Copies of this chain bind each other. A is one copy, B any other.
Amino acid sequence: MESQKRFFLQEKDIPTQWYNIVADMKNKPLPMLNPQTRKPITVDELSALFARGCSEQELDSTHQWIDIPEPVRNQYKNYRSTPLVRAYGLEKALDTPAHIYFKNESVSPVGSHKLNSALAQAYYCKKEGVTNITTETGAGQWGAALSYAAKVFGLELAVFMVKISYNQKPYRRLIMQTYGAQVVASPSMGTRAGKDIITANPNYQGSLGTAISEAVELAMQTPNCKYVLGSVLNHVSLHQTVIGLEAEKQMAMAGEYPDIVVGCFGGGSNFSGISFPFMRHNILEGKTTEFIAAEPAACPKLTRGVFQYDFGDEVGYTPLLPMFTLGHDFAPAHIHAGGLRYHGAGTIVSQLLKDGYMKGVDIPQLESFQAASLFAQAEGIIPAPESAHAIAATIRLAKQCKEEGKGKTILFNLSGHGLIDMTAYDQYLSGDLTNFILPQEEIDKTTSKLEHII
């Protein structure tokens, strides 16, 4: 019989604090700027948009550990710890000497890691007397998570869902509605941002950038309403560190420590969540673990983007963020990994990439689905198209281990399952999927404008 397959923590061992890597970073991220004044943004300014609790965390560069509020921890207990799983099936299928582990965030009630931050943000809003919140969602993982979190803490939620997903992915919209959220296709006629875009291009199928603009606008114009974001920002990454903190304890239970940690990369939250707790040992103790962010070849901000101040949204409502970006009006091809179709990387991750603590790899769409299918048949879990990028990167590494005869220990984050994404698998199985090769001119076109921002 194989050795232990899955590792869980006792409820009492679920982390009580999140890990704030900024406190340990030698080079701090450049400051976010107020888009009006172009000066470093303050907690007060941020709090106009976000809950104050989140705004404080966003700019906190001194506290290494931040307490997880008890009501949030109580909610975490509903699905955490998530299992750390030894992927014996995948190892066997690849005939690799590598030890492959994955953190299975897909067993959360909403099917992904997104709930870790959704619960925290909804809690801070509620605590501060907020009654209404807004957000955007692409494929719908984040929207589903926040819809449940809003219900838990008694908040009214409006979700702007990218129009193409709204139409093509009715299941996730229905999940949000089942939890009681209002879901609006973006661009909509209900905001100035949406109306302007529809007027200019009536057939525009939406983008995360546009949906963010709409959600921000509605939040700013509604009394007692805050905006909530599912990735990119520092406080979101902070909340996701519960993943890596658990994984660290669970890897110890397995008697191992990762040589390589892999996560897929959209805005950075799941990658940060699994990576930062391990990366702190690189920063503080000189460990040499490698950190690999797997992004889609169709939206390669880490491997082919520029490091520049840029907006988080299409219209330019958000603070200016110093980040690796393809430009805030970059419109990525319609790959199935909707959660990875975002133009920029968070400020912390961007600084860490610059400083060589991590690296990006870009995965073509077909390779991601080949990896996903192999994983499904070997481990039983059909992964989300986003998570499939982490699996593809892991498979590359495991094959390299085989070539080199090295038994490295690889840990990746299975950020979500793909049971709501079966139409994507349908296209793959039918041979209708293609790779999107992004021409350099397109990147140049949207990034060349950025130099004028500051």
| A binding-site residues for B, Cβ under 8 Å | 1-2, 4-6, 8, 11, 70, 73-74, 77-79, 85, 89, 107-111, 115, 148, 151-152, 170-171, 174-175, 177-180, 373, 376-377, 379-382, 419-420, 422-423, 425-426, 429
Interface pair A419/B151, CB less than 8 Å apart: no
Q: Which of B77, B379, B381, B422 contacts A174 (CB 8 A)?
A: B422
Chain B residues within 8 Å of A379, by CB: 78, 109
Cα-based distance from A420 to B111 in the complex (angstroms): 12
Interface centre among A11, A151, A419, A420, by most B CB within 10 Å? A419
Interface pair B419/A178, CB less than 8 Å apart: no
Interface pair B107/A107, CB less than 8 Å apart: yes
Chain B residues within 8 Å of A178, by CB: 373, 376-377, 382, 422, 425, 429
What distance in Å separates the Cβ of A289 from its nearest Cβ neighbour in chain B? 27
Interface pair B422/A171, CB less than 8 Å apart: yes
Q: Which of B78, B89, B382, B419 contacts A380 (CB 8 A)?
A: B78
**Interchain residue pairs with CB less than 8 A apart (11):** A1-B70, A4-B77, A5-B11, A5-B77, A6-B11, A8-B8, A78-B85, A111-B419, A170-B423, A175-B425, A178-B373
**So how many copies of this chain end up in the complex?**
2
What distance in Å separates the Cβ of A103 from its nearest Cβ neighbour in chain B? 15
Q: Which of B6, B109, B382 contacts A77 (CB 8 A)?
A: B6
For the complex with contacts A2-B77, A148-B380, A174-B429, 5 further pairs of A-B residues with Cβ separation under 8 Å are A4-B77, A109-B382, A175-B382, A178-B376, A179-B376
Top 8 nearest A-B pairs (CB, nearest first) are A109-B380, A174-B422, A5-B77, A171-B422, A109-B381, A107-B107, A151-B377, A419-B419
Interface pair B377/A180, CB less than 8 Å apart: yes
Cα-based distance from A413 to B420 in the complex (angstroms): 23
**With contacts A1-B74, A380-B79 known, is A174 near B8, CB below 8 A?**
no
Cα-based distance from A4 to B77 in the complex (angstroms): 8
Chain B residues within 8 Å of A107, by CB: 107
Cα-based distance from A178 to B73 in the complex (angstroms): 36
Chain B residues within 8 Å of A79, by CB: 380
Cα-based distance from A171 to B170 in the complex (angstroms): 12
Cα-based distance from A240 to B175 in the complex (angstroms): 29
Interface pair B425/A174, CB less than 8 Å apart: yes
Closest to A171 in B: B422
Cα-based distance from A5 to B1 in the complex (angstroms): 31
What distance in Å separates the Cβ of A126 from its nearest Cβ neighbour in chain B? 16
Interface pair B171/A419, CB less than 8 Å apart: yes
Chain B residues within 8 Å of A373, by CB: 178
Interface centre among A1, A79, A174, by most B CB within 10 Å? A174
What distance in Å separates the Cβ of A385 from its nearest Cβ neighbour in chain B? 12
Chain B residues within 8 Å of A108, by CB: 380
Interface pair B174/A426, CB less than 8 Å apart: yes
Closest to A5 in B: B77
**With contacts A11-B4, A151-B377, A376-B178 known, is A170 near B77, CB below 8 A?**
no
What distance in Å separates the Cβ of A391 from its nearest Cβ neighbour in chain B? 14
Cα-based distance from A419 to B110 in the complex (angstroms): 9
Interface pair B78/A170, CB less than 8 Å apart: no
What distance in Å separates the Cβ of A169 from its nearest Cβ neighbour in chain B? 10
Interface pair A419/B78, CB less than 8 Å apart: no
Chain B residues within 8 Å of A381, by CB: 109
Interface pair B1/A78, CB less than 8 Å apart: no
Closest to A373 in B: B178
Interface pair B425/A1, CB less than 8 Å apart: no
Chain B residues within 8 Å of A111, by CB: 419
Interface pair A78/B6, CB less than 8 Å apart: yes
Cα-based distance from A77 to B2 in the complex (angstroms): 10
Interface pair A170/B2, CB less than 8 Å apart: no
